[in-house]
Structure 1
């Protein structure tokens, strides 16, 4: 199944990215967290973690991020305040280009998300109310593209 592409506004306090958010539905369904991490690592998405998604709007200006829903479901708000609401569940993969605003808009109690970064880059957490968007856009422009799609 092909990825869904979402283009977000790049003119506000949340920089977002000219590259689209990509959503791969059920691409990694019925896999253990260890299998998901191994799959991502084989595609050069490393520096992984397991947890949830912050309940506040934020973005990363130093790395492209992938989020895999290993268990449960969640509504992710993409793009910043008033952004696109996207409900994702087990096995869904979200590729968030650097600068993409996101936050947890509510999820199941069993939610487990596995995150990783293209090329294993170090990530930062930027909040729109605390970060200069023009400086963030300059950092985002220097982030190299990923070498492999995370779910193909």
Structure 2
């Protein structure tokens, strides 16, 4: 998979909002939510005390443009969309930012947490919210699989590989990443905002 996916976002991520019909605008939503705890390091992947949050059926059934819907939902909640693509086939993570991934086409199997991590299936309308440090890779996908990716404002995400010799330094970097100000799907106080703040408080009490 090419590594220049952010160039693609220059073409699709910043289209003038006023040119879009009203149905394409998204608002914070209450949706089904799944939680995965991937707390232990694996190889050179730090993972995180914060849970992975998976939102299901985020895209309403009558949506005309799935990708634009997710981009406007994320943007409205303070997570500027950065790219449209799939997921790299090698284990990687970000040590300086959380990441949100929204499936707008197709389906795939992803491995979370590192080489021995859990494999999950994602489909259209699923949104994964990954804390900084959580490893992920694409195991398989159909030909239509595509996602919208976004990060908190003013962040340039790094790209870290599974390198055990760098685990200590990257674990420290992950621990310094601030909690985001908003949840990309639900808005200000629900979802990851509640879960991540509680998990961070519990980790600090240990």
TM-score tier (shorter)? over 0.9
**1:26 paired to 2:57:** yes
- Unaligned 5+ segments in structure 1 are none
Aligned match for 1:151, one of 185, 190, 196: 185
Work out the CA distance in 2 between the residues paired with 1:57 and 1:89. 20
1:91 aligns with 125
Alignment deviations for residues 78-121 of structure 1 (CA, whole Å, 9 cap, x no partner): 00001011101001000000001000010110111110002341
Give yes or no for contact 2:45–2:163 (8 Å, CA) kept in 1: no
Distance 1:3 1:131, change over 3 A: farther
Kindly name which structure, 1 or 2, has the bigger radius of gyration based on alpha carbons: 2
2:160 aligns with 126
- Unaligned 5+ segments in structure 2 are 1-30, 187-206
* Matched residue count: 152
Please list every run of at least 4 consecutive aligned residues from structure 1 whose deviation after the TM superposition is greater than 4 angstroms. none
Q: How does 1:5-84 map to 2 (within 5 A)?
A: 5-12=35-42, 13-29=44-60, 30=63, 31-84=65-118
Using structure 1 for the length normalisation, give the TM-score.
0.93
Work out the CA distance in 1 between the residues paired with 2:134 and 2:97. 10
Work out the CA distance in 2 between the residues paired with 1:144 and 1:54. 25
Identify the structure with the greater helix proportion. Answer: 2
CA RMSD of aligned residues (A): 1.5
Deviation at 1:144, TM superposition (A): 1.2
Distance 1:144 1:9, change over 3 A: closer
Work out the CA distance in 1 between the residues paired with 2:128 and 2:121. 11
Give yes or no for contact 1:74–1:107 (8 Å, CA) kept in 2: yes
Work out the CA distance in 1 between the residues paired with 2:165 and 2:136. 15
Alignment deviations for residues 52-94 of structure 1 (CA, whole Å, 9 cap, x no partner): 1000000000110000001000111000001011101001000
Identify the structure with the greater strand proportion. Answer: 1
